[in-house]
Structure 1
């Protein structure tokens, strides 16, 4: 038996020419300003209009209300999960120095690693080789991004230290300061001594 994302629901089976109507319905459901039954009725009307406009070229099978309801429940669950993740990220990022891209990269990397591990736990023994390869590739890319971020930060720090050292030596020479005085200034600025 082939493994995959499972059977498509009736909303996923709608022709791509109906994507704008599905997006409209999702927006209305998320806005929660109207009853779901009203949104469904308008959804059906829009699909029927699209069918008439296509003059029979599109095979639009109107999803049942129960399918629409399941879609609404799934959409709501996904939105809640995304909102929770965003709230958690906001809370954690509030404690980080936003000028330190390395901290943020580490946080994002760890969050993605946690999501990958949660996926592995949730689908224990049910993931095929393709999915395992994709998850492994994701983990590898995260590790590379984190290493690149650290390497980039170290390179910038080294360049800054070199420029600072050069500037202090230039000013020290112009002001007639000794080498020892220049080194003391560098120690105080960067913790670098010569």
Structure 2
């Protein structure tokens, strides 16, 4: 049976919002590998104790144990590694596509999503409730929005390219470059 909701909160999640800055500080220190986790925990513990004393009883909370802090540290490290890995993969993939290829991929993805939606509607006719229909409509709207953004971006890039090309031609003419030389430069650059 699948678990519903987010499950039981850990001791760091149960800390009051008034000490969020201390938790954020600890997360930053854990990301910086200059100090040991034990040193960071000791200072974390001291800061929470100080906040508790300063509140004069207005803040009541249990300071997380070192084992809870360790689990938090491990989870934070795993999440950071996953984010960095995803960022590196996205950068590597993005470097392999130009705007036109990206636009083509968007068109292919949108067509695949539309096809999936229409297939689902056709095969589940009479079995879709309003929630299912809304989800399909949202998916279609998102796909079409992505397609429109991609097309708009491509058109903007093409307009900027044509403008820059015109400015280069004007500058070249003013510099006294012959038409034959300009034709040769364009041929070598693949500009028509």
Distance 1:84 1:140, change over 3 A: farther
Distance 1:53 1:136, change over 3 A: farther
The residue aligned with 1:67 is 68
The residue aligned with 1:7 is 8
The residue aligned with 1:21 is 22
CA deviation after TM superposition for structure 1 residue 46, in Å = 0.3
Q: Which runs of 5+ in 2 are unaligned?
A: 110-131, 167-190
Aligned residues: 140
Distance 1:151 1:93, change over 3 A: closer
For residues 24-103 of structure 1, what are the structure 2 equivalents within 5 Å? 24-97=25-98, 100=99, 103=102
Structure 2 length normalisation: TM-score?
A: 0.59
CA distance in 2, matches of 1:65, 1:137: 48
DSSP-derived class of the 1:71 partner: helix
CA deviation after TM superposition for structure 1 residue 38, in Å = 0.7
Distance 1:152 1:23, change over 3 A: same
CA distance in 2, matches of 1:145, 1:47: 47
Does 2:184 correspond to 1:148? no
Structure 1 length normalisation: TM-score?
A: 0.59
CA deviation after TM superposition for structure 1 residue 103, in Å = 2.1
For residues 110-149 of structure 1, what are the structure 2 equivalents within 5 Å? 139-140=139-140, 142-149=142-149
CA distance in 1, matches of 2:60, 2:152: 54
CA deviation after TM superposition for structure 1 residue 55, in Å = 1.1
Asked if structure 1 preserves the Cα contact closer than 8 Å seen for 2:48 and 2:63, the reply is: yes
Q: Please give the per-residue CA displacement for 1:140-171, whole angstroms capped at 9, x wherever unaligned.
A: 564133222244257658x95xx99xx9xxxx
Asked if structure 2 preserves the Cα contact closer than 8 Å seen for 1:102 and 1:153, the reply is: no
CA deviation after TM superposition for structure 1 residue 96, in Å = 2.4
Q: Which runs of 5+ in 1 are unaligned?
A: 111-131, 168-188
CA distance in 2, matches of 1:25, 1:76: 13
- By relative contact order (CA 8 Å, sep 6+), the higher-ranking structure is 2
Distance 1:101 1:14, change over 3 A: farther
